[in-house]
Amino acid sequence: MAPLRPLRHPCLPGALLALLGLAHPWLEASMARHMLAELPLLFALGWYAAALAGARWRPARAYAAPLLLAALLIVSVWMLPVALDLAVLHPAVNALKVLGLLLAGALAGAAWPVAGLVLQGFFMFNWSWMTIVGGLLYQDAPQQLCSVYLSEQQWSTGAGLVALASAVLVLWLLHSVFLPALTSMAPPCDGAV
């Protein structure tokens, strides 16, 4: 347990956010890095901060659905091409993007443990479906959607969104649905040979 203690330091999310800020110009130079690396990393940092807060910041079960809905709505805004353009072109909008995604991750991270499997599944399938459809639209768009990114970058970003959403959904299904079902069906070990 001692090797994991540094990962629980309360200043670690801020330090990781500072490192992400240093990589900001490189991340936003490509549409794929912007959408497939920077946005998920900001969300993950918010989730990590909520995990560090632990039970102190965990809401009652009744508030899990509204918190997850708020997180889903915030994330969906930053999938729009116009939002990406504004975030790259205007520092104030970029700051709003960073704060919004950190908040979305924190809300989701706080609500997830109390949400239950059905509610988690509802939001996981909705996020995955929305991201896959967005990725397909990015791939099939006949015109350039973002003014700051070339149209060639749209296809690779769309393919990456489809792959990311599919991978996250499969990992969640394995972790939350299939593995628990398999372990509950395993015969008990009684120690007899």
The letter for the amino acid at 140 is D
What is the CB neighbour count within 10 angstroms for residue 9? 11
Task: Give CA–CA dist 44/50, Å, rounded.
Answer: 10
Q: What is the mean pLDDT of residues 22-38?
A: 90
Residue 19 has pLDDT above 80, yes or no: no
Please state, in angstroms and as integers, the Cα–Cα distance from residue 123 to each residue in 10, 44, 173, following that order.
28, 16, 13
pTM for the full predicted model: 0.85
Residue 116: pLDDT above 60? yes
Q: How many C-beta atoms surround the C-beta of residue 22 within 10 A? A: 9
Of all residues in the chain, what percent carry a pLDDT higher than 90? 60
Mean per-residue pLDDT for 88-101?
A: 95
The pair of three-digit structure tokens given for residue 45, joined into one six-digit string: 């940092």
Q: Which of 126, 104, 121 is nearest to 50 (CA)?
A: 104
